[in-house]
Amino acid sequence: MLYLIPLFPFLGFLVNVTLGRRLPKKVSGGVATAAMAFAFGYSVLAVYNLLHSAPVDGVRSMESTVFTWISSGRLDIPLSFRLDPLSSIMILVVTGIGTLIHLYSTAYMLEETGSEYARYFSYLNLFAAFMLVLVLGANFPVMFIGWEGVGLCSYLLIGFWFTKPSAAEAGKKAFVVNRIGDFGFILGMLALFATFGTLDFQGVAKAVAALPPGTGEALITGITLLLFLGATGKSAQLPLYVWLPDAMEGPTPVSALIHAATMVTAGVYMIGRNAVLFSHAPFTLDVVAVVGVATALMAGTIGLVQNDIKRVLAYSTVSQLGLMFLAMGVGAFGAGIFHLYTHAFFKALLFLGSGAVIHALHGEQDIRKMGGLMKALPITFQTFFIGTLAIAGIPGLAGFFSKDEILWKTFSSGHTILWAVGVVTAFLTATYMFRLTFLTFYGERRAAPEPHATDHAAHPPSPAASARQADHGHGHDHGHGKHLHDAPSAMAIALIVLAFGSIVAGYIGIPAVMWKDGNQIEHFLDPSFEAHGVAAAAAEPVAEAGEDHASTEWALMGVSTAVAVGGWLVAWFYFRRKPSAADAMARSFAGIHKLLLNKYYVDEIYDRLIVQPIKAISSGVLWRAVDAGLIDGTVNAVGLVVRGWSAVLRRLQTGSMRAYAMSLFLGVVTILGYFLWR
């Protein structure tokens, strides 16, 4: 009955897409939220059953096949879902966080008209449904349904305010960039089938595990690199991360959904799901780790100087995803998924918190115009602050455990350079997150709330100016421009629950050196990263927690803590104690500052190197030469030939009835004559 989990939100989608326009907002939002809540409840039930089932071949898993989808020769693809430790973490995150985001959205989107409101919730439900298909699918094609589905929904939701050109552009960009990754994913999938003759995850894992060591490495490397290309598209890694910051054009809860519960985690999940396959391609793993850490560093540095509250968070997501890929790349699949899981809590919290700020300020997104919101928005501030502590890696909160686990695994697997870069990234994370918090909530309000139209005209160069216009186009109809309202109750509940989660979520992965029964989550997840029923001896857990290791781990934990607190202090110094120092710094490193502010000009470089040449080829070669010349030419030539012949043949049609009768008669005589005298 696993199919019920994606079915609930899908039904919600159907209700809202068909009847939504006629339903009052309370009902359409309520149906959507209830659908997610049901899915969450059922997921909890399913996971509970899973935990109490007897392990088969060392792993607990449940499978349910709905029907045979494709059956042709060797190709046999059932539409089947499988629940194992890995997917159970994922469905709990998707449905749990998803429910809160739905709940939050019921209040956040209230300013939209009834039909827009229903459209929004239908997309949101569909998004969750596809994500659940993605994580529950038992083979590649089923995963691919979800994979493409979330791509579609991200397009729809990022471009939700499609009347605004920048939002429409952003949606298009997300879709096109994702297509590039999907192309790699499809090729990888086909190569996988050609090689192993199966597309079932377990089947592939078994086939790979059964290979004698040292064989087929080149092939598997190729396949995994193609799959990883797909992952970089979905999970916003170099070189395909460019769509994610632009995705901020969508409504803020959508950003939360994309960043925390759905979509971007797909790539990380896919690698975890194919851990056995990737483990057999050491080169690919190195590529994954390097790409991950490079993305993390790059996004972290960009995040330092951005001024749009949502963009800072977007780059922080890219950066955190980079860390997850780092974990995947060094073979610490459990740690990567653990970070995915904790990240879901605090990133959802931070996005929803930023949404509450934007909501309160009637669409203002520029942190330079915020400040001093601590008193006006106490709930938002407190929860946001907890989220900041968690993502920065302050000990005791969720982010610390998972991030530290990744760094420790990186270090202990001998990737010292990657570890060092990871630590720098962690420092950057702490710095830009506290910068964001300080600039938003502390000090004095730097700009009075203004009506939209004048606000828009006054700051044309601000990148946020255009975005803010529509992300809350309701400012003008609020009579009370000066009054700041804290999050309404539906939003506040979501924030508080997530804040609680951000604090406690990490304790299921508490390091083994702190508590001997620690690392529960990784022990729970480990079976998912092995091929079941094959050479169980090889998967014997290695006793790694020796005494000297323990002391190293403690030391590294100290480094992580120091870095987190250091980032906090640096942010405090530059943005609380001496704000002038920050400006001075920006001036003295004007070149670097400009480079970062313009996001390393990556968009411009892509535009110059890829987009413009493609446009030139399209219009010069494909349009003018191939389409207009070749295809139209052929069609026109056929037409001309027909016309020429007709000019001759139509002379036969005189309109004279007697001429026709005569030709008919002569024809009959000829035919009869032929038969008589032949």
Partner 1 sequence: MLPEPTLTHYLILSAVLFSIGTAGVFLRRNLITILLSVEVMLNAVNLTFIAVDKFRGTFDGQIIVFFVITVAAAEAAVGLAIVIALFRHKETLNPDAFTSLKW
Contacts to partner 1 by CB under 8 A: 650, 653-658, 661-662, 665
**Single-letter amino acid, residue 172:** K
Q: Which long-range contacts (CB under 8 A, 24 or more apart) does 187-195 make?
A: 187/226, 188/223, 188/224, 188/225, 188/226, 188/227, 188/229, 188/230, 189/140, 189/141, 189/144, 189/227, 191/219, 191/222, 191/223, 191/226, 192/140, 192/223, 192/277, 193/75, 195/219, 195/223
Closest approach, Cβ 71 to partner 1, in A, equals: 56
Q: Are 161 and 470 in contact (CB under 8 A)?
A: yes
CB nearer to partner 1: pick between 588 and 654: 654
User: What are residue 38's phi and psi, to 5 degrees?
Assistant: -60, -45
First vs last C-alpha separation in the chain: 79
Give me the least distance between CB of 635 and partner 1, in Å please. Answer: 23
536 vs 662, beta carbon nearer partner 1 = 662
For 48-159, list the strands marked E by DSSP: 62-72, 75-83
Helix axes 309-329, 282-305, angle to 10 degrees: 160
- Give the C-alpha separation, 104 to 118, whole Å: 15
Of 630 and 662, CB closest to partner 1? 662
CA distance 263 to 162: 20
Rank residues 587 and 651 by Cβ distance to partner 1 and give the closer one: 651
Pick the closer one to partner 1 by CB: 600 or 665: 665
CA atoms within a 13 Å half-sphere pointing along the CA-CB vector of 217: 11
Report in angstroms the alpha-carbon separations of 198 from 76, 86, 106, 134, 528. 8, 21, 43, 18, 18
CB of 662 to partner 1, least distance (A): 6
User: CB 648 → partner 1: shortest distance, Å?
Assistant: 12
| Rounded least distance, CB 659 to partner 1, Å | 9
Do 434 and 576 form a contact (C-beta atoms < 8 A)? no
Tell me the residue ranges of DSSP E strands in 163-262.
Answer: none
Q: Which one, 584 or 662, has the nearer CB to partner 1?
A: 662
Closer residue to partner 1 in complex, CB, 163/656 = 656
What tokens were used for 393?
Answer: 């890696």
Query: Is the peptide bond preceding residue 541 cis, with omega within 30 degrees of 0?
Result: no
CB nearer to partner 1: give 535 or 664: 664
State which residue, 457 or 649, has the beta carbon closest to partner 1. Answer: 649
Both tokens assigned to 316: 């922080």
CB 118 within 8 A of CB 92: no
Distance of alpha carbon 431 from alpha carbon 420, whole angstroms: 17
CB of 480 or CB of 650, closer to partner 1: 650
Q: Which amino acid is at 513?
A: V
Beta carbon of residue 665, minimum distance to partner 1 (angstroms, whole number):
7
Classify residue 487 as left (phi > 0), alpha (psi -120 to 50) or beta. beta
Nearest approach in angstroms of CB 674 to partner 1 is 19
- Which parts of 73-176 are beta strand (E)? 75-83
CB closer to partner 1 out of 457 and 657 = 657
Nearer to partner 1, 587 or 643 (CB): 643
Q: Shortest gap between Cβ of 650 and partner 1 (angstroms)?
A: 4
Q: How far is the CB of 663 from partner 1 (least distance, A)?
A: 11
Per-residue HEC secondary structure of 17-71 comes to HHCHHHCCHHHHHHHHHHHHHHHHHHHHHHHHHHHCCCCECCECCEEEEEEEEEE
Contact (Cβ atoms closer than 8 angstroms) between residue 385 and residue 260: no
Query: In whole angstroms, how close is the CB of 646 to partner 1 at the nearest point?
Result: 8
Minimal distance, residue 67 CB to partner 1, in Å: 57
| Nearest approach, Cβ of residue 155 and partner 1 (Å) | 53
